[in-house]
Every structure is written in C-alpha cells, then in structure tokens.
C-alpha cells in the first residue's frame, strides 16, 4: 500500500500541469503532504 502512495506522490511531483494542480482542494494538498511525510518515514524506517 505504501508503494502506491510513493508512486502517487512521484506522479504529482513530476506533474507540470499547473491547472490540474490548481484544481486540487486545500484538503487534497494537505493530504498529499501527509502521505509524503508518511512515505518518507516508512522509507527511512526500512533502510
């Protein structure tokens, strides 16, 4: 499941379509930040 989050975050980071990013609600952006922090923690924990 964490792998899906990592791929999702990577896709969002590589996304250059500004209009699509603008359509994300504040909640969606906060959720992405949370998922990124969670994924970073999981990665660092397994190393």
Name the residue with higher pLDDT: 20 or 29. 29
Proportion of the chain in helix, strand, coil states, percent, rounded to 5: 85, 0, 15
Phi, then psi, of 4 in degrees rounded to 5: -60, -40
At 18, the pLDDT band (50, 70, 90 cuts) reads low
Q: How many domains are contained in the chain?
A: 1
**Helix (H/G/I), strand (E/B), else coil: 27:** helix
Domain that holds residue 17: 2-46
At 41, the pLDDT band (50, 70, 90 cuts) reads confident
At 1, the pLDDT band (50, 70, 90 cuts) reads low
């Amino acid at each position: 499941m964490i792998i899906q989050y990592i791929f999702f975050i990577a896709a969002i980071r590589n996304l250059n379509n500004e209009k699509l990013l603008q359509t994300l609600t504040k909640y969606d952006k906060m959720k992405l930040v949370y998922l990124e922090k969670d994924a970073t923690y999981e990665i660092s924990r397994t190393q």
